[in-house]
Amino acid sequence: MKNIIAALAIVAATPAMAQDKMTLLLDWFVNPDHGPIIIAEENGYFADEGLEVEVVAPADPSAPPRLVAAGQADLAVSYQPQLHLQIHEGLPLKRVGTLVATPLNCLLVLNDGPIQELSDLKGKKIGFSVAGVEEAVLQAMLGEHGVTPNDIEMINVNFSLSPSLMSGQVDAVIGAFRNFELNQMEIEGVEGRCFYVEEEGVPSYDELIYVANPDRMDADKIARFLAATEKATQYIVNNPEKSWEIFAATSTELQDELNARAWVDTLPRFALRPAGFDAGRYARFEAFLKDSGMIESLNPVEAIAIDVTTQ
């Protein structure tokens, strides 16, 4: 009996195993797009995987991939289209997981405005926030309807996408997220309508992905991170209302109608298998960028994306 008591005392005195620390940089402030990350933290799934994850919202949304490339964080939430370009720029990055597995981007117009077909954009103004891939996306979408880049005027509206459209500053905006801007406009009493990029000549892609520096990454830690977010995604799908309550309770800024609506619209787009990926999808988008003149050569899929669970 004394030996049992002594053994129990030793166990009680033994400190808990130290958690492996990770830093994850978001693409923007916390919003429903990041649901699996927040639920994994709140439900203890990271801890179950032996992880302590620091989630950081960036001051500059364009900085996270470059910070990861420089070894200043383990992971960043980024975008598949941008990743292709960044690799061609020489950044040491690879996709190691998927957060949102379908495009969210759309070309947004006023529902009762003059743009009823994409061909109506000839001679019109289109607002954008981030230069680069959006040009290739627009070229593909409009080219199907006889509109060339010379037929439109591109205007940088920074991040005021829906406000610039509602005010009449532009006739359409590209880069609007269908789960946010459509809801935002409806709440403000102005109905918008999306032309969906994947229905208008653009290859489908993963909107939000996790990127890491392949020369510095710890594949085991990342695999455990993805296992935790997979479990969180399953919890969200099985418990949509309860998971929203958990998510919204983390910040008063999330507790409004826009985020509640966006949560519902984003839920079916989360990657159910965040570690897995479709190699053909990455090859097709790489070819699309080359055909659009955005890149001069083709990288093999293994230079763009990997499944860390096989490493």
pLDDT in 10s for each residue of the chain, 311 residues: 445 444 444 444 444 567 999 999 999 899 999 999 999 999 999 999 999 999 999 988 889 999 999 999 999 999 999 999 999 999 999 999 999 999 999 999 999 999 999 999 999 999 998 777 888 899 899 998 999 989 999 999 987 899 999 999 999 999 999 999 999 999 999 999 999 999 999 999 999 999 999 999 999 999 999 999 999 999 999 999 999 999 999 999 999 999 999 999 999 999 999 999 999 999 999 999 999 999 999 999 999 999 999 87
Q: What is the DSSP string of 98-127?
A: EEE-S--EEEEEETTSS-SSGGGGTT-EEE
Paired with 22 in beta bridges are 53
Q: Helix, strand, or coil here: 126?
A: strand
Closest CA to 84 of 308, 289, 293, 276: 289
pLDDT at 11: 43
Predicted TM-score (pTM) of the model is 0.90
pLDDT at 61: 82
| Per-residue DSSP letter, 112 | T
| Per-residue DSSP letter, 18 | P
| Per-residue DSSP letter, 229 | H
Reported in sequence order, the residue ranges of 118-189 that DSSP labels E, i.e. its strands, are 125-128, 153-156, 172-177
CA 287/CA 308 separation, integer angstroms = 24
pLDDT at 15: 44
CA gyration radius for the chain?
22
CA 137/CA 176 separation, integer angstroms = 13
pLDDT at 122: 96
pLDDT at 17: 61
